[in-house]
Copies of this chain bind each other. A is one copy, B any other.
């Protein structure tokens, strides 16, 4: 299955035929939207997505906005692919980066299950600033060494798998970023996640590693809170929060205001040669 790739023309230059761009709008602030995404939106005939993300796109003449509910990702992807196959220029919008717990996977799931002709479509993924990197930037550099990203929602996987991944991530001494830590519909998952982390970390560097709760980063409601794992409480997270848990080597620099949190690039400077 070795294939070489032709990067081809940028999306905005291919408007003679239909195309589908799966675009990341970043966490919210306009100054985190890439010029590539801005150009794709300017060239589009249709924008498709979850209503709060579609609401971030300015209406204009010639552009149809298709807002849909949460939880209908495959329907939305199929709708977008059908329009692109009809020759329309379609942007599917995601918050953050479309490839991280967002719409890009749903689009390719729909392609794989759909008509063979969809495989010839011009489908491109336009990356964006993903929530964990925005949160990390606000806190300092907690993801500056090896790390993992876990979606804590158990809508799409059994809780046993979430728990297994948490234990293995602690064993690997990864810093960890959690998406969708806690929703109104399933408040208990994050409570259990914190309990698993505490149990695993007691024997792996202790409970003083920092936990960062970054909520609504780049919105007017932005807050950042840094606590030790021993002090972390489930209600510190909600559905707008990204949670980052440090590795055993993550450092906290106290200062006036929020402390800076960073994970050293090297495990050798700490003298750890595990």
**Residues in chain A within 8 A of chain B (CB atoms):** 1-7, 10, 26, 29-36, 39, 73, 97-102, 104-109, 111-112, 119-120, 123-130, 133-134, 136-138, 140-151, 155-158, 160-161, 164-165, 168-169, 171-174, 210, 218, 222-228, 231, 251-260, 262-269, 273-274
Contacts and interface: CB of A to CB of B under 8 A. Distances in A.
Contacts of A133: 97, 99-100, 127, 130
Nearest to A32: B34
10 contacts: A5-B223, A99-B141, A101-B144, A105-B263, A109-B262, A109-B264, A112-B262, A124-B137, A148-B148, A157-B267
B127 A160 contact: no
Copies of this chain, complex-wide, total 2
A150 B226 CA distance: 25
A2 B251 contact: no
Nearest to A108: B262
Contacts of A106: 265
Most buried by B among A3, A127, A168, A258: A127
Contact of A137 (B99, B224, B253, B264): B99
